[in-house]
Structure 1
Amino acid sequence: MNNRRYPNFGVLLVDDEAPFLRSLSIALERRGGINHIYRCEDSRNVMTMIAREPIGLVLLDLTMPHLSGETLLQQIVEEHPEVGVIIISGLNQLETAVKCIRLGAFDYFVKTTEEERLIEGVRRAIQLQEMRKESQAMRQRFLTDTLERPEVFSDIITQDKGMRSVFQYLESISTSSQPVLIMGESGVGKEQIAHAIHTLSNCSGPLVSVNVAGLDDNVFADTLFGHQRGAFTGADKARAGMVEQASGGTLFLDEIGDLSLASQVKLLRLLQEGEYYPLGSDRPKRIRARVVVATHQNLEEKQQLGEFRKDLYYRLRIHQVEIPALRQRKGDIPLLLEYFLAEAAEELNKTKPTIPKELPVLLANYSFPGNVRELRALAYDAMSLHHSKMLSMEVFRRILNQEIPCTESDKSATPIIFNPDQPLPTLQEAGELLVAAAMERAQGNQSLASRLLGISQPALSKRLKKKEP
Structure 2
Amino acid sequence: MAGDIYPDFPILLIDDEPSWLRSLGLLLERAGFTNLHKLTDGRKAQSLLAEQKIGIVLLDLMMPGMSGEELIPLIREESPDTVIIVVSGMNQVNLAVQCMKLGASDFIVKTGAEERIVTTVRNAVKLWELKRENRAIRDTISKGPSNPEAFSQIATTNRYMASIFSYIESLATSRQPVLITGESGTGKELIARAIHRVSNPPGPMVSVNVAGLDDTIFSDTLFGHVRGAFTGADARRAGMVEKASNGTLFLDEIGDLSAPSQVKLLRLLQEGDYYPVGSDLPEKINARVVCSTHQDLPAKGKERLFRKDLFYRLQTHHIHMPPLRERKDDIPILLETFLTMAAEETGKKRPVYPQELPVLLATYHFPGNIRELKSMVYDAMARHQGGTLSMASFKEAMQGHPGSIEDSPPPPADSTGNPFTGLEPLPNLAEASHLLVMEAMARAEGNQSIAARLLGISQPALSKRMKLIREKKEV
- Pick which of 323-332 and 414-423 moved more: 414-423
Task: For 1:250, give the aligned amino acid.
Answer: T
Q: CA deviation at 1:365?
A: 0.5
Task: For 2:181, give the aligned amino acid.
Answer: M
Count the aligned residue pairs: 452
Q: Which residue of 1 aligns with 2:139?
A: 140
Q: Which residue of 1 aligns with 2:63?
A: none
- Pick which of 283-292 and 354-363 moved more: 283-292
Aligned: 1:131 with 2:130: yes
Counterpart-to-counterpart distance in 2, 1:320 and 1:307: 20
Aligned: 1:347 with 2:342: no
Which residue among 205, 208, 222 is the counterpart of 1:207? 205
Q: CA deviation at 1:24?
A: 7.4
Alignment of 1:310-349 (within 5 A): 310-349=308-347
8 Å CA contact retained: 1:344, 1:380? yes
Q: 1:269 to 1:451 in 2, by over 3 A?
A: same
Aligned: 1:438 with 2:429: no
Aligned: 1:160 with 2:146: no
Q: 1:22 to 1:198 in 2, by over 3 A?
A: farther
Aligned: 1:459 with 2:461: yes
The DSSP-based 3-state class of the residue aligned with 2:289 is strand
Deviations 1:397-456, CA, capped at 9 Å, x for gaps: 1122224279xx967944222132424332222222222122111111111212222222
Deviations 1:161-192, CA, capped at 9 Å, x for gaps: 11122222223333333221111111111011
Q: CA deviation at 1:84?
A: 4.8
> Which residues of structure 2 form unaligned runs of 5+?
61-65
Q: Which residue of 2 aligns with 1:173?
A: 171
Task: For 1:135, give the aligned amino acid.
Answer: N
Task: For 1:372, give the aligned amino acid.
Answer: I
Q: Which residue of 2 aligns with 1:262?
A: 260
8 Å CA contact retained: 1:270, 1:276? yes
8 Å CA contact retained: 1:9, 1:56? no
Quote the sequence identity (%): 49
Q: 1:252 to 1:49 in 2, by over 3 A?
A: farther
Deviations 1:67-118, CA, capped at 9 Å, x for gaps: x9x89x968766544455779x9x9997799699857467979999967x88
TM-score, with structure 2 as normaliser: 0.79
Q: 1:240 to 1:119 in 2, by over 3 A?
A: farther
Q: Which residue of 1 aligns with 2:246?
A: 248
Counterpart-to-counterpart distance in 2, 1:340 and 1:8: 48
8 Å CA contact retained: 1:40, 1:46? no
Q: Which residue of 2 aligns with 1:188?
A: 186
Counterpart-to-counterpart distance in 2, 1:426 and 1:242: 66
Alignment of 1:52-201 (within 5 A): 57=55, 79-84=78-83, 104=104, 124-142=123-141, 144-201=142-199
The DSSP-based 3-state class of the residue aligned with 1:468 is helix
8 Å CA contact retained: 2:367, 2:403? no
8 Å CA contact retained: 1:7, 1:126? no
Q: 1:275 to 1:100 in 2, by over 3 A?
A: farther
8 Å CA contact retained: 2:85, 2:104? no
Deviations 1:221-252, CA, capped at 9 Å, x for gaps: 22222233333333333333222322222221
Counterpart-to-counterpart distance in 1, 2:5 and 2:247: 12
Aligned: 1:221 with 2:223: no
Q: CA deviation at 1:199?
A: 2.5
Q: 1:318 to 1:427 in 2, by over 3 A?
A: same
Q: 1:314 to 1:405 in 2, by over 3 A?
A: same
Task: For 1:459, give the aligned amino acid.
Answer: A
TM-score, with structure 1 as normaliser: 0.80
8 Å CA contact retained: 1:101, 1:108? no
Task: For 1:158, give the aligned amino acid.
Answer: T
Q: 1:412 to 1:58 in 2, by over 3 A?
A: same
Q: 1:111 to 1:310 in 2, by over 3 A?
A: farther
Q: 1:452 to 1:405 in 2, by over 3 A?
A: closer
Counterpart-to-counterpart distance in 2, 1:59 and 1:382: 66
Task: For 2:146, give the aligned amino acid.
Answer: E
Q: Which residue of 2 aligns with 1:31?
A: none
Deviations 1:271-316, CA, capped at 9 Å, x for gaps: 2222222223333333322221111011111111111112222222
Counterpart-to-counterpart distance in 2, 1:4 and 1:359: 58
Q: 1:223 to 1:139 in 2, by over 3 A?
A: same
Counterpart-to-counterpart distance in 1, 2:311 and 2:273: 19
Q: Which residue of 2 aligns with 1:65?
A: none
Aligned: 1:292 with 2:290: yes
8 Å CA contact retained: 1:11, 1:57? yes
The DSSP-based 3-state class of the residue aligned with 1:268 is helix
Q: Which residue of 2 aligns with 1:422?
A: 424
Q: CA deviation at 1:159?
A: 0.9
Q: CA deviation at 1:121?
A: 5.9
Structure exhibiting the larger radius of gyration computed from Cα positions: 2
Deviations 1:169-219, CA, capped at 9 Å, x for gaps: 223333333221111111111011112222233423222211111111122
- Pick which of 177-186 and 282-291 moved more: 282-291
Which residue among 380, 383, 388 is the counterpart of 2:381? 383
> Which residues of structure 1 form unaligned runs of 5+?
29-33, 63-67
Q: Which residue of 1 aligns with 2:369?
A: 371
The DSSP-based 3-state class of the residue aligned with 2:245 is coil
Q: CA deviation at 1:52?
A: 8.2
8 Å CA contact retained: 2:254, 2:291? yes
Q: Which residue of 1 aligns with 2:275?
A: 277
Which residue among 235, 238, 257 is the counterpart of 1:237? 235
8 Å CA contact retained: 1:7, 1:177? no
Counterpart-to-counterpart distance in 2, 1:223 and 1:86: 46
Counterpart-to-counterpart distance in 2, 1:208 and 1:197: 13
Task: For 2:444, give the aligned amino acid.
Answer: A
- Pick which of 122-131 and 162-171 moved more: 122-131
Q: What is the CA RMSD across the aligned residues, in angstroms?
A: 4.2
Task: For 1:430, give the aligned amino acid.
Answer: A
Q: CA deviation at 1:465?
A: 1.1
Counterpart-to-counterpart distance in 2, 1:176 and 1:443: 45
Counterpart-to-counterpart distance in 1, 2:45 and 2:219: 45
Q: Which residue of 2 aligns with 1:449?
A: 451
Structure of greater relative contact order (alpha carbons < 8 Å, 6+ residues apart): 1
Q: CA deviation at 1:380?
A: 1.3
- Pick which of 249-258 and 224-233 moved more: 224-233
Q: CA deviation at 1:51?
A: 8.1
8 Å CA contact retained: 1:4, 1:204? no
Aligned: 1:301 with 2:303: no
